[in-house]
Amino acid sequence: MEHPRDQAGGDSARAGSIGDSTVWRWLSEDAIRPWAHRTWIFPRAPDFEERAGRVLDLYEGIWEGKPLAPTDCILSTDEKTSIQARKRVHATLPPAPGRPMRVEHEYERAGAWAYFAAWDVRKARIHGRCEQTTGIDGFMRLVDQVMRHKPYCSARRVFWIMDNGSSHRGDRSAARLRSRWPNIIPVHTPVHASWLNQVEVYFSIIQRKVLDPNDFQSLNEVSERLLAFEAHHEAVAQPFQWKFTRRDLTSLFERLEKKGERDRIQVAA
């Protein structure tokens, strides 16, 4: 006997007409998915808001409450460690109709570079160099490479934004920079805040466009491609449209405070 709900194009017929996109939209809006997760970086430094605020102010063209001069420079710097040259044991096959590029899984190691870079936040220029290892010496060679040229050598103020890595950590690093180049103003990000450093955006670009898939015959080939891409990128690049501001940071900490999370910042430190 036919169920009344199935008569005359009832519920079963209507259910059959629901599109796949509608079902997925319902699931996305309403379903609890315990297998899904997101990673995030919790601001754990006790001076996080103060230090991060100084960096965000610079991105908006402000320093200590006053607008920057047009001649002031802002450089975001860091190093990308252990960029390997992986020589594949079988030649990479180029893409063909209906077939993506094929890259052999096995490879021989041909060494690795540490890539030091400084991104000019206002002018969208990149200055980089490859070194055998990370460390103070390599970082200072990058600084000298940049600062010997205009507009940096003649600018009244050159802000260097950097994290707390061993190559440029703390007050001793700041003093070292200022003793060699008095117009440098070192600005350290808070601990655990690499996302504040704009050069990391550039690193993500070279990872996608230069280093993947990693198939290099030698370290020279790696360095040549990195430096060639610098010139190519500068020809088309625009300053990054940084949207997270000090106001957003204040709003974030207000939300953490409402949730009782703010006290954890002090404990974690």
- Residue at 261 is within a domain: no
pLDDT tens track for 219-248: 999 999 999 999 999 999 999 999 999 999
Domain that holds residue 15: 1-30
- 198 and 136 belong to one structural domain: yes
pLDDT of residue 5: 45
Q: Band the pLDDT of 217: cuts 50, 70, 90.
A: very high
Q: Residue 209 — φ and ψ, nearest 5°?
A: -100, -15
- Residue at 228 is within a domain: yes
- 4 and 136 belong to one structural domain: no
Among 33-37, 132-136, 214-218, whose mean pLDDT is lowest? 33-37
pLDDT of residue 208: 95
Q: Residue 224 — φ and ψ, nearest 5°?
A: -65, -40
pLDDT of residue 14: 52
- Residue at 231 is within a domain: yes
pLDDT tens track for 83-107: 999 988 888 888 999 999 998 888 8
- Residue at 257 is within a domain: no
pLDDT of residue 219: 94
- Residue at 69 is within a domain: yes
pLDDT of residue 192: 84
- Residue at 254 is within a domain: no
- 64 and 188 belong to one structural domain: yes
H/E element, 256:
helix 246-258
- 23 and 154 belong to one structural domain: no
pLDDT of residue 130: 97
- Residue at 109 is within a domain: yes
- 139 and 58 belong to one structural domain: yes
- 26 and 52 belong to one structural domain: no
92 close to 103: Cβ distance less than 8 angstroms: yes
Compare 8 and 180 and report the one with higher pLDDT.
Answer: 180
- 189 and 91 belong to one structural domain: yes
- 63 and 140 belong to one structural domain: yes
pLDDT of residue 253: 86
How far apart (Å, rounded) are the C-alpha atoms in residues 242 and 233?
A: 18
- 17 and 128 belong to one structural domain: no
53 close to 247: Cβ distance less than 8 angstroms: no
- 23 and 59 belong to one structural domain: no
pLDDT above 50 (res 268): no
Q: Band the pLDDT of 262: cuts 50, 70, 90.
A: low
Residue 28 tokens read as 């996305």
pLDDT above 70 (res 4): no
Domain count, the chain: 2
Compare 21 and 233 and report the one with higher pLDDT.
Answer: 233
Predicted TM-score (pTM) of the model is 0.81
How far apart (Å, rounded) are the C-alpha atoms in residues 237 and 226?
A: 15
pLDDT above 50 (res 144): yes
- Residue at 72 is within a domain: yes
pLDDT of residue 38: 78
- 179 and 85 belong to one structural domain: yes
Helix, strand and coil content of the chain, in percent to the nearest 5, comes to 40, 20, 40
Among 128-142, 143-157, 193-207, 250-264, whose mean pLDDT is lowest? 250-264
- 52 and 12 belong to one structural domain: no
CATH no. for residue 77?
A: 3.30.420.10
